[in-house]
Chains A and B, each alone.
Chain A
Amino acid sequence: MRIECATPRHGLAGPVRACLAISSDDANAPVGSATAWMGGAGDFESGTLPVAIEAVGQPASMQADGTGKGQDFMLEHGTLPAEEPPIYDTRITLNRVTHDVLDPMKGRPGGWWWGAFLAAAGALGIGAAIVALQLRVGLGILGLRRPEMWGTYIVNFVFWVGIGHAGTLISAVLFLLRQRWRTAINRTAEAMTIFAVICAGMFPLLHLGRTLLAYWLFPYPNDRELWVNFNSPLVWDVFAVSTYFTISLLFWYKGLIPDFATMRDREHRPWVKKIYTALSLRWEGTASGWVHYESSYGLFAAIATPLVLSVHSVVSADFAVALVPGWHDTIFPPYFVAGAIFSGFAMVVSLLVILRKAYHLEQYITLDHLELMNKIILVTSTIVAFAYLDEIFMAWYSENPYEKHIFIWLRFVGPYAWAGWLAVCCNCIVPMVFWFRRARRSLATMFVISLLVNVGMWFERYVIVVTSLAQDFLPSNWGYFGPTRFDIGILIGSFGLFFTFFLLFVRFMPTLAMAEIKAILRHPVGGQPSLQEKSHA
């Protein structure tokens, strides 16, 4: 008797051992009846191969030599397919995943949570007070001066949109690339995306000055038959960021539905159970339901992938379409997208290093996963460094005096050189430490580097926004831009907003995608050997 393995070629979470085909040495043996298949307490009788084929793929055909191919699976004659290294510890059971993810949310939050929450809420309070003051007094409290009309609000906007790129990139792009390790980090990263885009969206609205008229940004029917100007990248931005927020929110919520159902079924407090019941939308987990769910998950990934690349491209068009030296560059879209992935992944690493420790998730968010994240940070760092070099080279090689003045003198020699060099050090030099494996796997090193990367990326945007406007074509306008305490306060406030949301998220929602992790556990039930192992026995 021969036992062969049928492995699905594709699926939501990558290939999983699914079913076995059993055949006699004579491939032309008569088809056994199904009762024979079950006879002998789970032993497999000869001549039952077509039964197993029926299980995994309809258009299968057997060859005389005992090998066959189906549309969705392969039968490999004589040998078992090579084992892929498991993503998670093979001793983890399904029930343990549920416990490990949900147990930290039980009971009262610890002292560290309250400490962090109060700090974040305090920062948010500072930001809210400044926003209230700005709405009352006006934009004059900020460092905005002619010709420097964009200032730190737009720096913050670009910074937070960039942070918001990691989540959808991890959920969509890594999904399409079949990177199964993403299941350990996608939920947290997606949550981070939502909160970062909320922070980002706040700044252009505040920067309008007359924030209550923000609805003018959208094309809506009005008595004067006025419409927005669709030629303007600022209008593209409105569409790009609001679409990105909506799609990211739906994608995130969709992923949460099966996990909310798990929480609903474990919750005993009546009113909390009601909330999770409402959020889980009567999710049952029927196989027919999973078919639609998985299909729509793949489709969301497919539409979110070009979306995530388009959003920062559109943000970069805010600059690149303007005829301002320092902004008018064709390299901006890929440069901005790489920078966004760079800073977003750095933020994910910063948060995960803390989260895995606080929630004891070391078995799920492993050093291997963090190392892979650090490799992506390293790659995107080199792309960003290349973009810097390209800008400088093109400014020098073009012999354009305005370009040279901005790109070389103002950013690296003149009054803003401190910011330019800070960005270069943090974004291009510090991450080079990740060439060393030991650094990629050291929690302390990666935490420090990920923080420095985000400092560097904030200053990169500062350099782009501020230096390009600081000295325009009229030297009588020239001045030195410095943020006021209100500029700084509102940046602190945006961090407060982000971390307040994030801390509430880790307190009330599953921080890991339980259903997705369970789907790729190598041994779903502890101690129960798979059919394949039985055949070896």
Chain B
Amino acid sequence: MPSLRERPTLVAMFDDPEALLRAATILRTHNYAGLDALTPYPVHGLPEALGLKTSWMPRVTKTAFFIGAGLGFAFQVWVLGWTWRLNIAGKPFVPVPALMPVTFESGILVAGIATFVAMLIAVKLRPTTHYVPFDLALTNDRFALLVPGTAAEMGPIRALLEQLGAAEVRTVAN
């Protein structure tokens, strides 16, 4: 849990995503930065409430598609026009319409693989056989708000979170 290891963090557990949304909203207005949450599913409005940036994933997909399609097309042109010229009934050596299916499929293939790899990198996913989750219910039916802060801030934040309906507030210190 990278955000928990960086500095002391308060983890407020919620049973209700709407309470989590409200708490995140209030904390943002108090100018707490670096908020994150752990949720079993994507809660709507939460990225905006936490002030998270939008994903850079679309740029990866778009770029990869054009690179894949471009390479696929160039490769076919090189094969048919230069290195392996086939004279088929006097037709053009590089028939552009006939090259479109492979061009398209290469673009999709490269875009899909690049998007998947980019997601693994962005979400910091990697295969491992040992992992200790913070709380087992966070992939089932509970929601946690992560609030990093200095030791001096912990008291007021904890009070605030409890007022906001947190079922439980834990401190994770390093």
Asked if chains A and B come from one complex, the reply is: yes
| Chain A contacts to B: CB under 8 angstroms | 6, 8, 11-13, 15-19, 34, 37-38, 42, 51-52, 54-58, 72-73, 93-95, 98, 219, 225-231, 233, 235-236, 239-240, 242-243, 246-247, 250-251, 254, 257-258, 261-262, 264-266, 274, 277-278, 280-296, 299-300, 302-304, 306-307, 310, 314, 317, 515-516, 518-519, 524-525, 528, 530-531
Cβ-closest 6 pairs across A and B: A295-B55, A18-B45, A94-B141, A55-B25, A281-B125, A292-B122
Please tell me which stretch of B5-13, B76-84, B147-155 contacts chain A, meaning at least 4 of its Cβ atoms lie within 8 angstroms of it. Answer: B76-84
Asked if B80 and A295 sit within 8 Å, CB to CB, the answer is no
A263 to chain B, nearest CB (A): 9
Chain A residues near B90 (CB-CB < 8 A): none
Q: How far is the CA of A76 from the CA of B109 in the complex (A)?
A: 44
Q: How far is the CA of A258 from the CA of B123 in the complex (A)?
A: 12
Asked if B126 and A310 sit within 8 Å, CB to CB, the answer is no
Asked if B16 and A528 sit within 8 Å, CB to CB, the answer is yes
Most chain B CB neighbours (cut-off 10 Å) among A16, A231, A254, A257? A231
Asked if A219 and B57 sit within 8 Å, CB to CB, the answer is no
12 contacts between A and B (CB under 8 A): A17-B18, A38-B26, A54-B28, A236-B102, A239-B106, A250-B112, A287-B43, A288-B52, A295-B57, A295-B58, A304-B112, A525-B17
| Chain B contacts to A: CB under 8 angstroms | 1, 3, 15-18, 21-22, 24-26, 28-30, 36-50, 52-55, 57-58, 61, 65, 75-76, 79-80, 83-84, 86, 88, 95, 98-99, 101-102, 104-106, 108-109, 111-113, 115-116, 118-120, 122-131, 133-134, 136, 138-141, 160, 163-165
Q: How far is the CA of A95 from the CA of B40 in the complex (A)?
A: 10
Q: List the B residue with the shortest CB-CB distance to A31.
A: B29
Asked if B141 and A525 sit within 8 Å, CB to CB, the answer is yes
Chain A residues near B130 (CB-CB < 8 A): 274, 277
Interface of A is mostly: helix
Asked if B129 and A292 sit within 8 Å, CB to CB, the answer is no
Q: How far is the CA of A487 from the CA of B56 in the complex (A)?
A: 51
Chain A residues near B48 (CB-CB < 8 A): 55-58, 72
Asked if B108 and A303 sit within 8 Å, CB to CB, the answer is yes
Chain A residues near B105 (CB-CB < 8 A): 236, 239-240, 243, 307, 310, 314
Chain A residues near B16 (CB-CB < 8 A): 524-525, 528
Asked if A230 and B98 sit within 8 Å, CB to CB, the answer is yes
Q: List the A residue with the shortest CB-CB distance to B129.
A: A274
B9 to chain A, nearest CB (A): 12
Chain B residues near A287 (CB-CB < 8 A): 36-39, 43, 46-47, 50, 52
How many pairs of A and B residues are in contact by the CB < 8 Å rule?
266
A230 to chain B, nearest CB (A): 5
A294 to chain B, nearest CB (A): 5
Asked if A94 and B40 sit within 8 Å, CB to CB, the answer is yes
Q: How far is the CA of A516 from the CA of B44 in the complex (A)?
A: 12
Asked if B42 and A281 sit within 8 Å, CB to CB, the answer is no
Chain A residues near B115 (CB-CB < 8 A): 296, 299-300, 303
Chain A residues near B58 (CB-CB < 8 A): 295, 299
Asked if A227 and B79 sit within 8 Å, CB to CB, the answer is yes
Q: List the A residue with the shortest CB-CB distance to B88.
A: A231
Asked if B112 and A285 sit within 8 Å, CB to CB, the answer is no
A11 to chain B, nearest CB (A): 5
| Given A8-B45, A299-B58, A303-B108, also A285-B25 (CB < 8 A) | no
Asked if A250 and B116 sit within 8 Å, CB to CB, the answer is yes
Chain A residues near B57 (CB-CB < 8 A): 292, 295-296, 299
Chain B residues near A515 (CB-CB < 8 A): 40-42
| Given A38-B26, A286-B37, A306-B108, also A254-B101 (CB < 8 A) | no
A264 to chain B, nearest CB (A): 7
Chain A residues near B37 (CB-CB < 8 A): 286-287
Asked if A54 and B79 sit within 8 Å, CB to CB, the answer is no
Asked if A519 and B41 sit within 8 Å, CB to CB, the answer is yes
Q: List the B residue with the shortest CB-CB distance to A283.
A: B125
Chain A residues near B128 (CB-CB < 8 A): 277-278, 281-282
Asked if B131 and A230 sit within 8 Å, CB to CB, the answer is no
Q: How far is the CA of A42 from the CA of B164 in the complex (A)?
A: 7
Chain B residues near A17 (CB-CB < 8 A): 18
B71 to chain A, nearest CB (A): 12
Asked if B83 and A247 sit within 8 Å, CB to CB, the answer is no
Q: How far is the CA of A288 from the CA of B102 in the complex (A)?
A: 36
